[in-house]
Structure 1
Amino acid sequence: MRDANVIIVGGGVMGCGIALRLRQAGARVTVLERSIPGAEASSAAGGILAPQMESEGPGPFLELCLRSRALYPDFAAELHALTGVNVDYLPSGLLHLAFDEAGAQRLKATVDWQRALDLRAELLGPAEVHALEPQLSPQVVAAARFPDDHQVDNRLLTRALTMAAARVGATFRTGYVRGVVEEHGRVVGVDLDGETLRADAVVIAAGSWSGLVQGVSVDPRVVRPARGQMVQLQTRLPLFSHVLFSDKGYVIPRADGRVIAGSTLEFAGFEKNVTAEGLHRILALAMELCPALASAPVQETWAGLRPYTEDHLPILGAGPLPGLFLATGHFRNGILLAPITARLMAQAVLGESTSVDLAPFRFDRFPRR
């Protein structure tokens, strides 16, 4: 299968990452995108690489996220070598802040189970927190520090992955995929604006739109759009160095003084509006974490649609028909999971044993509606 002809529907970080790995393995690859590659969730994210902070507990998903995080230093270096684009991978560490005793106890429980797994995590008291980050709110009573949770500039990553896939020989085409083409119970290509493009395998990596591709047989309610609104502020000098998180949201410090603040979680269909309520919530959260941000100019606002599943796990691997593969539903971990998803999906498409068991992420784990 290494000389297979593969079509990938979706040109975000997932589609381009998979295209890169398939081309490097010898496959012929065409990436289909209805607009500009990476224009949707990939460019609208924050770029936090935080499997420990995001984790709800031990299990296959945490292991998948940790494996992907471990790939990032070499992944960033590879993309720089291929394209000359520095994706600003930054080992900044992350602080999850608590503002009351109940929150501090929840952080302690998280730190305890993670340390039991030999993951680096520590609970800091208020004096330790403010010694580390003096500009934080004086109302902070505790913080969990995850030194191995990092960040990347997701817009630069998206650009680099698109360039890298093209550099190794992937073909990009713009158009609307009406559906997959099935013959004798097998997917053999796609309908692109009325033109049939044939392939040995089709990978659906269309984010929130994956379930809308006709013939994929994934209920659109299984993978649905979750709107997240974001704000970019600008400071003259960075006010803090860690990614800051609370139960209400986060702020991400870029090395050049930009601060990315987010995010809302809204089920508003495919509307990408930025709303007054959303901006109010995000700016209030940012100033609660770091009061000095109150004087920072607002540079940009935007909203993106993240592919949401009810169990917050992605859908990875073979689809409901031979020749069809799915890589979607990454929700807010898409940037984090890009390197491991690219590797695993290339292995699956080429008929190889995947280096991670994909059974927990199968498309058919959801009950039929």
Structure 2
Amino acid sequence: MGCGIALRLRQAGARVTVLERAIPGAEASSAAGGILAPQEESEGPGPFLDLCLRSRSLYPEFAAELLALTGINVQYLPSGVMRLAFDEAGLARLEATATWQRERGLRVELLSPSEVLALEPQLSPELKGAARFVDDHQVDNRLLTRALTMAAAKVGATFRTGYVRGVVEERGRAVGVDLEGETLRADAVVIAAGSWSGLVQGSALDPRVVRPARGQMVQLQTRLPPFSHVLFSDQGYVIPRTDGRVIAGSTLEFSGFEKNVTAEGLHRILALAMRLCPALASAPVQETWAGLRPYTEDHLPILGAGPLPGLFLATGHFRNGILLTPVTAKLLAETVLGERPSVDLAPFRFDRFSRR
């Protein structure tokens, strides 16, 4: 988020400094799966789905722009996403989702078991059917993070490493930040610190409003990709990469800021992966990791102006941080520059929780 916003602000002519306590994108951005699936993951119609769909529509041009700026191909792939059902209740949920999404003009295909296996022969023969979201895609999130960092630097953003103690306020306005005792002055301060956003003094975010949700992940290695679609079930997902890697995830755990990988978590993820695609049972486990996603109770991000003039917030993206990167960068840049945001940010205000 920080690098994307810095890129857009710098392109608009602003002087920008990105502050990072370690390596940009080393937390949730690098730990994610890179799924761009507003339809598959939607909880229903509304402003959040509209925001996610808008961001998805920006991705082809966004990926091409990053390639032109940095030479990095972020592996944006129009792979499509399937949600598999293994019982009648699961099928009923897929049919209900397909009904309301089709009413909104979104593309959804309901597939029989034979139709699924014709497309993906190595999937489980136990499945009862699937919904195919042909417009949901994927990107390699680690390549995306690297490309965004390079792109922001290439257009002239400055990067500094250090611990931000808090927002500096003068006469009721944010005028900079305290960077390890040094006051770094600025006309605008953007907090895009993920799960740590509420710990930044002066952000006015209660730490309970944005809190860490741990997600564990496993990477398997196959010689050839065993399937081409991103696969979901009610228990998790598996993501095929073109080089034969398969990313499997994920857990949802509220364990504070602990990023441990646990035996139980790995057991659940691997059992899910093998149920969806039994051929993965023989795939070597190449890597395991955990990340902390910035969680809000209503699952909506916090975007736009903060509690003080000159302070702006971009956090709480939970499971959709990679998907929402291009639209967040665009909207925050517009807001910081005093322009009218191209999307109504009222549903994503920071103070919506206190109003409740």
Alignment of 1:40-119 (within 5 A): 40-119=27-106
User: Tell me, what secondary structure is at the counterpart of 2:40?
Assistant: helix
Match of 2:277 in 1: 290
CA distance in 2, matches of 1:231, 1:103: 25
Q: Residue deviations 1:64-111, cap 9 Å, x none?
A: 000000000000000000000000000000000000001000000001
The percentage of counterpart residues that share the same residue type is 86
CA distance in 2, matches of 1:174, 1:149: 36
The code of the aligned residue for 1:60 comes to P
Match of 1:4 in 2: none
Matched, 1:302 2:289: yes
Shift of 1:311: 0.3
User: Tell me, what secondary structure is at the counterpart of 2:291?
Assistant: strand
Matched, 1:136 2:123: yes
Matched, 1:280 2:267: yes
User: Tell me, what secondary structure is at the counterpart of 1:210?
Assistant: helix
User: Tell me, what secondary structure is at the counterpart of 1:57?
Assistant: coil
Match of 1:28 in 2: 15
Matched, 1:357 2:332: no
User: Tell me, what secondary structure is at the counterpart of 1:64?
Assistant: helix
Alignment of 1:135-154 (within 5 A): 135-154=122-141
The code of the aligned residue for 2:139 comes to V
CA distance in 1, matches of 2:219, 2:144: 18
User: Tell me, what secondary structure is at the counterpart of 1:187?
Assistant: strand
- What residue ranges of structure 2 are gaps of 5+ in the alignment? none
Alignment of 1:134-213 (within 5 A): 134-213=121-200
Question: Which of 313, 320, 332 is residue 319 of structure 2 equivalent to?
Answer: 332
CA distance in 2, matches of 1:203, 1:217: 13
The code of the aligned residue for 2:28 comes to A
Question: Which of 211, 220, 226 is residue 239 of structure 1 equivalent to?
Answer: 226
The code of the aligned residue for 2:68 comes to A
User: Tell me, what secondary structure is at the counterpart of 1:52?
Assistant: coil
CA distance in 1, matches of 2:170, 2:145: 34
User: Tell me, what secondary structure is at the counterpart of 2:322?
Assistant: helix
The code of the aligned residue for 2:134 comes to P
The code of the aligned residue for 2:45 comes to P
Match of 2:257 in 1: 270
Shift of 1:122: 1.2
Shift of 1:174: 0.2
- What residue ranges of structure 1 are gaps of 5+ in the alignment? 1-13
Matched, 1:223 2:210: yes
CA distance in 2, matches of 1:339, 1:367: 28
CA distance in 1, matches of 2:167, 2:353: 22
CA distance in 1, matches of 2:282, 2:355: 51
CA distance in 2, matches of 1:158, 1:79: 11
CA distance in 1, matches of 2:144, 2:298: 27
Matched, 1:315 2:302: yes
Question: Which of 26, 36, 50 is residue 39 of structure 1 equivalent to?
Answer: 26
User: Tell me, what secondary structure is at the counterpart of 1:95?
Assistant: strand
The code of the aligned residue for 1:196 comes to T
CA distance in 2, matches of 1:313, 1:284: 30
Shift of 1:367: 2.7
CA distance in 1, matches of 2:355, 2:26: 32
Runs of at least 4 residues off by over 6 Å: none
Q: Residue deviations 1:251-302, cap 9 Å, x none?
A: 0000010000000000000000000000000000000100000000000000
The code of the aligned residue for 2:142 comes to R
* Alignment TM-score, normalising by the size of structure 2: 0.99
CA distance in 1, matches of 2:155, 2:273: 41
Alignment of 1:254-265 (within 5 A): 254-265=241-252
Q: Residue deviations 1:171-199, cap 9 Å, x none?
A: 00000000000001101000000000000
Aligned length: 356
* Alignment TM-score, normalising by the size of structure 1: 0.96
Shift of 1:368: 6.8
The code of the aligned residue for 1:36 comes to I
Question: Which of 252, 260, 267 is residue 239 of structure 2 equivalent to?
Answer: 252
